[in-house]
Structure 1
Amino acid sequence: MKCIVTGAAGFIGSHLTERLLEQGHQVVGIDSFLDYYPRRIKDMNLSAVRQNPAFQFIDSNILDLNWSDLLKEGDTVFHLAAQAGVRASWGKSFLIYTRNNIEATQIMLEASKNKGLKKFVYASTSSVYGDTEDIPMHEESILKPVSPYGVTKLAAEGLCYLYWKNFNVPCTSLRYFTVYGPRQRPDMAFYKFLLAQLEGRSITIFEDGNQTRDFTFVYDIVTGTLAASTQGHGGKTYNLGGGSRITVNEVLQIMSEVTGKPLDVRYAEKQKGDMRHTFASTEQAKTDLNYIPSVSVKEGITQEFEWLKDLFQRGLSHRVD
């Protein structure tokens, strides 16, 4: 199978690329190395696959590519590239989010018409739900995103449905719930908390720490994403969650156990765009994709901590305040 992976040098995309290559597929990886975090981090993410003859890398923005030439009959597309981050999506930055999350997706979908693709898998987010009263969150729940980022991801979901409905582009959208694990971006919470532990600094928790999340280990996310490329139904959306809902304070306790010392925690006011609770209903993914998450939060945090500790000891970690 020939696969195209956008965001191939990123946190989830690099893991997906590795798994595809391990399974014997050909992969064209695309990444534009946006200045959201240092390029050297993404270069490290790809270090294990750069020399693989089945891997071709294209350093380019999606908007600058000729997708009609790139897409061929029988291809499978994994569209993971996005302008990420809830808190950074306000104000003038919103234009960047619309370009990289909405326009880029539309360009790819437009080029996918009449190409005979096997599957177009779009990576969406739990941020599309907003502060819904439906817990667990079902794919049919009313969607009221509370951040501009969530709005752009929901718009791209809508485009995927439109191109399936009108042009039979075989789109499946996946709503990822709070993904963590090795190669996590330095601006993400687990990375920031664990690095603060290694450096002996305090951490800041917005709100009271009793907000809940459905934390999902990257291995399980990749497994579900691969399943969506061969199973499931066109035009459908599936939740991919970790299978457990825990508070941020409970996560901090787990991190204390994993790192061997208590965290120095400071609490601050809620940030605009943050959701109070997330918890995925994964029944549809279980039925259609055979998706069953397998990695516990403690096991996953342990793996991320060991990875980050190695980077820290080699002077390769990156602090984001």
Structure 2
Amino acid sequence: MKRKRALVTGSAGFIGSTLSERLLREGYEVYGIDAFVHNYDRRLKEQNLQGLLTNPQFHFWERDLRCLDFDELLSRVDVVFHQAALPGVRTSWGAQFQEYVDHNILVTQALLEAAKHSHVQKIVCASSSSVYGGMSGPTDETVTPQPVSPYGVTKLAAEQLGQLYANVFGVPVVSLRYFTVFGPRQRPDMAFHKFIKNVLSGEPIDIYGDGEQSRDFTFIDDAVTANLLAATSPVAGEVFNIGGVSQLTVNEVIALLETHTGKTALLRRLPEQPGDPRHTFADISKARQQLGYDPQFDIEKGIWLQIQQVRSLYNL
């Protein structure tokens, strides 16, 4: 049988590198591309790639997607996993917003435009629960998005471009709304990574507000599985919530970290941040029914695995 070929944008990142490894194990030939944008230390992204670069079925290019010839690249592959984006709610305000527009909206539009004339069988785009804004309970895809940050606005625009190109040109695109993905390789600016590092090193943890804000947490392996399910499903022009099996407050997360590290967290209370939703809570019924998505990892196992990776990363 002919080996299937996949393009993974953002392949040096947290989800992109983990997804690339899974695709190789599943028998894909993988084309990885990453611009090494400045959102965090390049060395961490290079570490994410180390195991991939030794595999002869993985081909990597360092390229700025804003200047890429997608037509030539799409001619090589059967499926695209578009993970590349400029992330971060708090940094998307002000003058930096132009970068978010460039990386999150214009790159996605260029990819979709090229896909109109390609033989790509499916494009799976990474979106975010940030499109919803605040949530008071389980939230499904019928809820009208109301992002509360410029970042969320750009992710919603990218989703809507995908639906537009699917409806008008038949581009086979699906968007996955991730709910706080965590686990080994998580970005250093994300809460779990920062909390674990600071607990282990005895540094204070910044808690914005009262710590009773809650998140629906998704372990990295479940998020990767969702991508593979979406890539092989017949659906197109749809968005899906991708959540996990645990919903906790920040205070509950801190308590779990103390239990699994055997250390007491030093807390520094700060005002709430603009653009941070109070709660996120995924109703994943649609993904269960249409994709067969069934998350498996609970929060405690996932936290333990991430603690081990952070210990190793910083020799703590």
Q: TM-score range by the shorter chain?
A: over 0.9
Query: Does the alignment pair 1:108 with 2:111?
Result: yes
Q: How many residue pairs get matched?
A: 313
Matches within 5 A, 1:85-96: 85-96=88-99
| One of 219, 222, 230 as aligned partner of 1:220 | 222
Report the CA distance between 1:35 and its aligned residue. 1.3
2:251 match: 249
| One of 131, 143, 146 as aligned partner of 1:144 | 146
Distance across 2 between alignment mates of 1:214 and 1:160: 25
2:286 match: 284
Report the CA distance between 1:245 and its aligned residue. 1.7
| One of 24, 27, 32 as aligned partner of 1:24 | 27
Regions of 4+ moved over 3 Å: none
TM-score by length of 2: 0.97
Query: Does the alignment pair 1:48 with 2:51?
Result: yes
**Residues 181 and 217, structure 1, Cα contact 8 Å, conserved in 2:** yes
1:233 match: 235
Q: 1:305 to 1:106 in 2, by over 3 A?
A: same
Distance across 1 between alignment mates of 2:113 and 2:25: 30
Q: Structure 2 counterpart of 1:116, which letter?
A: H
Q: Structure 2 counterpart of 1:281, which letter?
A: D
Distance across 2 between alignment mates of 1:268 and 1:35: 26
Distance across 2 between alignment mates of 1:185 and 1:312: 14
1:62 match: 65
Q: Structure 2: 5+ residue runs without aligned partners?
A: none
**Residues 245 and 299, structure 2, Cα contact 8 Å, conserved in 1:** no
SS in 2 for 1:47: helix
Distance across 2 between alignment mates of 1:41 and 1:246: 28
**Residues 244 and 279, structure 1, Cα contact 8 Å, conserved in 2:** no
Identity %: 48
2:295 match: 293
Q: Structure 1 counterpart of 2:153, which letter?
A: V
Report the CA distance between 1:36 and its aligned residue. 1.2
Q: Structure 1 counterpart of 2:243, which letter?
A: G
**Residues 206 and 267, structure 1, Cα contact 8 Å, conserved in 2:** yes
RMSD: 1.1
1:192 match: 194
Q: Structure 2 counterpart of 1:226, which letter?
A: L
Distance across 1 between alignment mates of 2:76 and 2:8: 16
Q: Structure 2 counterpart of 1:304, which letter?
A: Q
1:162 match: 164
Distance across 2 between alignment mates of 1:10 and 1:245: 24
Q: 1:38 to 1:291 in 2, by over 3 A?
A: same
Q: Structure 1: 5+ residue runs without aligned partners?
A: 315-321
Distance across 2 between alignment mates of 1:45 and 1:74: 23
Q: Structure 1 counterpart of 2:134, which letter?
A: D
1:74-130 deviations in whole A, cap 9, x for unaligned? 610000000000000000000000000000000000000031211010000000000
Distance across 2 between alignment mates of 1:184 and 1:74: 27
User: Which sits farther off after the overlay, 122-131 or 256-265?
Assistant: 256-265
